[in-house]
């Protein structure tokens, strides 16, 4: 057995293919080590290269990135404490440029730029800002002097005599013929460099036959002369990140700044395991990645590493300071810090990937609206107590509209979180279904929200979830319903008990079977996990039928709870309400009229709030609506109050309600304020025209609310939406066209004529400073389609190429690694009109545009119309001669 103290060179590989290549260049192979450090999970091969005893280690299967590399280095230093020289050898993605003719099979060696910085840049810590250099925080330490000296010596030798790397590789492959197919040099014809705007087609084969169909798709390069080194060795900056680089546009931007190569491990080593990074180029860091060149690139890098070690005299290596025990301790601390930060960031990425939805702020708002003491009857009921204390139970709680089901749900959630706050083995997850979020709340999204909350309760995200994330991340795909369902079941089994709470199941959409599928998955989950399920809903027959064998407890506002609520609101009424027993009269009359409906009590109180005399209050109390149409009458009364306001307040209230009713998703108050301040035909927003939130709420007489925690403006209740769905043609018949005009006016602003933002930071800044921009770019076309007419400003917007590109970037961008640049360039108005299915606009734009015009992703208007299932526009384009690929 070999003695660990005899080894002074540490060689780290990330991939199996790199490990195989490294082992082939050993001059001698030694026995395994006689012992390694406890908890060292590395796989080692020991041997000699030249006169140096060398230990080769590989990352665990399926892992890559900064943190795993740091872990391997840490464990290697514990088991082989005499190591003095470090190498990171393997494959990477090349960044060719006019200055650096990098080709597949070439080698990139990390080297400093005239001493300005180290040869490796941690791309995760830097920013790419057009026209500016990298921030210094991203640069890592230089390689040790002994290695930099060896690089210079070998470089001079190669320049004078040429290298023999190709011969060395072929000699090994002649000896190990079984490796030649995978590790031999591929044919030169397979070295293809595509234009940065050419993306690999999803259904194309690895040879990129579809990508190569157009001669202009590839960058033509002349053959290397016979006196040129092939492979060529390049010296310079290597960009290291946790994420694979697969974007040619970003690659080229970084190449301009001196980056030659991209990889995923070195940043975990440079400051804590001083080493030289050597990368064989196997692809061009774009979407056209394939495995064909990986074997040869690994061999080329390993061949160079061997030549480099032979430049170092043994006595020089022995004279190098070994990493002392103190250094190991410091390295361990630093590596643990790296791993912690990496895991924290990775956990956030995984949870965000599962679903961006979060219900915690909504829960905070809902429980904050509870009047102290209300709902106690429910918490004390035998039905609830039995459900809470017994596993595998379902409690179904139907209730008439406005009975207080949502607030009661928040009370249940709050009580469970308090009860089990010190028991981390109990999982609690909840969703609030909402009629305004039906487009977002698919069965998959609702289940993903439950899974996300359970994962947040665990000390660490399970490996199965991480593997699922990695698999889909590499393909750029979201999780499937089957993935979410199976992982949710697995997650529930990690807890001793699980509570699943669903509010307003009746507001879950039914048109595509969402509600049915969601319930099926919940019941399947309960069957296999013994979870407790709590559901509220209006008493609709098709919902009630699903819970015939469940514990059922009707939600109804008790007179005592309504009275508590009213007494809590009385201080907000004018002072004359406290004269001559009027307050008690109001409470008794309202309690008697609402018949178990909290919402109706609130609406009555809002109506009474506007009265200016005792006599007016008495008259209003005498005519309080009740019965089956009480809500309709209450909303009619509220609208009468709105219409009786001054013209400016009346118009503001109607605008607010129209936006809130017709919006494609719930709006934040800032989005709405910007919408309300837009002036048609103006080229910029007058920020002095932004209405105050307090005025918005006051003029709407209680029909809308703003969440204190999430800032979302909402109608006060689902019944409010139902009322306006029936009456909106009376109150705001032109709402869809007016909203469309507002959106395109905003998108036409002078501020957006600069076109697309050059990077993430600029795009984030644009979105933050212009709150309506994201909504307008995503939904102007939906409103235009609903308006069923050509809305003012649409065609003018679609003819402004720079504004269209700005809008398209916001529309197409996705959160993630430099997402701002992964959008199709050169999108035109015709593409956007087809994307949204705006037939009228498409018809007009066809008069002035090439029907087969392609954007930067080679997509036509027909492609967008078909992919978004807009039949009318698809037929229109085909009838006008659109080319079918």
Give strand ranges (E) for 538-688.
Answer: 551-552, 667-668
pLDDT at 118: 66
Nearest Cα neighbor of 4 from 59, 64, 79, 94 is: 79
Nearest Cα neighbor of 243 from 819, 667, 881, 832 is: 819
Instruction: Using 70 as the pLDDT threshold, list the residues of the chain that sit under it.
Output: 1, 61-67, 113-118, 123-141, 200-216, 242-243, 266-272, 323-344, 474-476, 627-628, 814-822, 885
What is the bridge-based pairing of β-strands 259-263 and 233-240? parallel
Distance CA 327, CA 9 (A): 17
Strand partners, 427: 498
Q: How many CB atoms lie within 10 A of CB 281?
A: 31
Nearest Cα neighbor of 104 from 238, 9, 224, 249 is: 224
pLDDT at 816: 41
Q: What angle separates helix 598-609 from helix 559-569, to the nearest 10 degrees?
A: 30
Contact 258, 63 (CB under 8 A): no
CA distances from 725 to 242, 271, 606, 660, 735 (A): 49, 63, 22, 12, 12
Task: Please name the residues in contact with 517: beta carbons below 8 A apart, sequence gap of 6 or more.
Answer: 443, 481
H helix and E strand count, the chain = 36, 18
pLDDT in tens, 688-707: 999 999 999 999 988 998 98
pLDDT at 132: 40
Distance CA 108, CA 270 (A): 16
Q: What angle do CA 61, 66, 69 make, to 5 degrees?
A: 50
pLDDT in tens, 450-485: 999 999 988 888 888 988 888 887 666 788 999 999
Q: How many CB atoms lie within 10 A of CB 270?
A: 26
| Helix (H) / strand (E) containing 229 | none
Q: What angle do CA 804, 806, 810 make, to 5 degrees?
A: 110
CA atoms within 13 A on the CB side of 841: 32
pLDDT at 327: 46
């Amino acid at each position: 057995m070999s003695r660990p103290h005899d080894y002074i060179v540490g060689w780290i590989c990330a991939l199996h293919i790199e490990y195989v290549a490294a082992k082939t260049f050993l001059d001698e192979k030694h026995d395994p080590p006689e012992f390694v450090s406890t908890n060292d999970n590395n796989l080692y091969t020991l041997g000699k290269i030249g006169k140096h005893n060398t230990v080769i280690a590989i990352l665990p299967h399926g892992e890559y990135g900064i943190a795993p590399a740091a872990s391997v280095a840490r464990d290697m230093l514990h088991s082989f404490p005499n190591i003095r020289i470090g190498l990171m050898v393997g494959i990477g993605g090349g960044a060719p440029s006019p200055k650096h003719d990098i080709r597949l099979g070439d080698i990139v060696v990390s080297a400093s730029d005239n001493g300005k910085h180290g040869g490796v840049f941690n791309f995760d810590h830097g920013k790419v800002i057009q026209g500016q250099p990298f921030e210094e925080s991203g640069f890592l330490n230089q390689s040790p002097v002994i290695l930099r000296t060896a690089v210079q010596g070998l470089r001079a030798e190669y320049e004078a005599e040429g290298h023999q790397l190709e011969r060395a590789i072929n000699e090994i492959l002649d000896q190990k013929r079984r490796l030649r197919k995978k590790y031999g040099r591929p044919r030169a014809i397979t070295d293809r460099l595509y234009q940065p705007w050419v993306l690999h087609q999803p259904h194309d084969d690895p040879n990129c036959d579809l990508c190569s169909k157009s001669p202009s798709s590839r960058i033509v390069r002349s053959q290397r002369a016979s006196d040129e080194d092939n492979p060529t060795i390049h010296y310079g900056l290597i960009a290291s990140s946790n994420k694979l680089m697969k974007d040619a546009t970003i690659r080229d931007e970084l190449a301009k700044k001196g980056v030659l190569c991209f990889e995923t491990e070195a940043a975990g080593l440079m400051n804590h395991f001083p080493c030289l990074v050597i990368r064989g180029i196997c692809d061009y860091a774009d979407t056209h990645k394939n495995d064909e060149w990986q074997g040869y690139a690994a061999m080329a890098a390993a061949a160079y590493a061997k030549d480099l070690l032979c430049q170092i005299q043994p006595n020089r290596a022995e004279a190098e300071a070994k990493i002392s025990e103190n250094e190991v301790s410091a390295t361990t601390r630093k590596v643990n810090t790296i791993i912690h930060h990496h895991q924290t960031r990775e956990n956030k990425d995984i949870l965000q990937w599962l679903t961006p939805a979060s219900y915690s702020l909504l829960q905070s708002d809902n429980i904050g609206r509870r009047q102290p003491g209300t709902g106690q009857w429910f918490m004390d009921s035998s039905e609830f107590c039995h459900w809470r204390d017994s596993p595998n139970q379902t409690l179904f709680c139907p209730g008439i509209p406005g009975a207080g089901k949502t607030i009661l749900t928040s009370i249940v959630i709050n009580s469970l979180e308090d009860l089990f706050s010190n028991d981390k083995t109990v999982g609690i997850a909840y969703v609030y279904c909402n009629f305004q979020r039906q487009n977002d709340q698919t069965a998959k999204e609702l289940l993903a929200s439950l899974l996300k909350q359970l994962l947040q309760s665990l000390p660490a995200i399970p490996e199965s979830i991480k593997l699922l994330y990695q698999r889909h991340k590499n393909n750029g795909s979201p999780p499937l319903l089957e993935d979410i369902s199976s992982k949710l079941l697995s997650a529930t089994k990690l807890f001793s008990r699980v509570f699943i709470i669903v509010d307003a199941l009746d507001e879950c959409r039914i048109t595509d079977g969402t509600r049915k599928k969601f319930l099926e998955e919940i019941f399947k989950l309960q069957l296999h996990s013994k979870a407790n399920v709590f559901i509220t809903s209006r008493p609709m027959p098709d919902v009630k039928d699903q819970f015939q064998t469940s514990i059922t407890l009707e939600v109804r506002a008790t007179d005592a709870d309504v009275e508590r609520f009213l007494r809590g609101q009385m201080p907000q009424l004018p002072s004359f309400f406290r004269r001559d027993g009027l307050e008690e009269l109001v409470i008794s009359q309202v309690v008697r009229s609402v018949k178990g409906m909290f919402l109706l009590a609130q609406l009555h109180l809002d109506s009474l709030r506007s009265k200016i005399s005792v006599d007016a209050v008495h008259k209003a109390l005498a005519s309080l609506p009740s019965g089956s149409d009480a809500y309709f009458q209450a909303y009619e009364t509220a609208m009468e109050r709105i219409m009786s306001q001054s013209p400016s307040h009346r118009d503001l209230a109607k605008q607010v309600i129209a936006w809130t009713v017709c919006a494609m998703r719930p709006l934040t108050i800032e989005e709405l304020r910007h919408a309300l301040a837009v002036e048609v035909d103006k080229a910029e927003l007058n920020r002095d025209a932004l209405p105050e939130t307090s005025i918005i709420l006051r003029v709407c007489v209680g029909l809308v609310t703003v969440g204190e925690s999430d800032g979302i403006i909402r109608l006060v209740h689902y019944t409010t939406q139902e009322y306006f769905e029936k009456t909106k043609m009376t109150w705001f018949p032109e709402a869809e066209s007016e909203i469309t005009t507002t959106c395109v006016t905003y998108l036409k602003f002078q501020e957006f004529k600069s076109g697309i933002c050059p990077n993430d930071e600029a795009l984030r800044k644009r979105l933050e400073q212009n709150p309506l921009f994201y909504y307008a770019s995503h939904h102007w076309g939906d409103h235009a389609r609903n308006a069923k007419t050509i809305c003012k400003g649409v065609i003018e917007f679609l003819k402004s190429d720079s504004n269209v590109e700005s809008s398209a970037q916001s529309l197409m961008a996705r959160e993630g690694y430099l997402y701002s640049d992964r959008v199709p360039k050169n999108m035109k108005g015709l593409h956007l009109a087809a994307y949204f299915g705006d037939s009228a606009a498409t018809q007009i734009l066809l008069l002035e545009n090439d029907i087969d015009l392609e954007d930067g992703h080679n997509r036509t208007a027909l492609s967008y119309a078909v992919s978004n299932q807009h039949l009318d526009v698809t037929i229109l384009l085909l009838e006008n001669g659109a080319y079918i690929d």
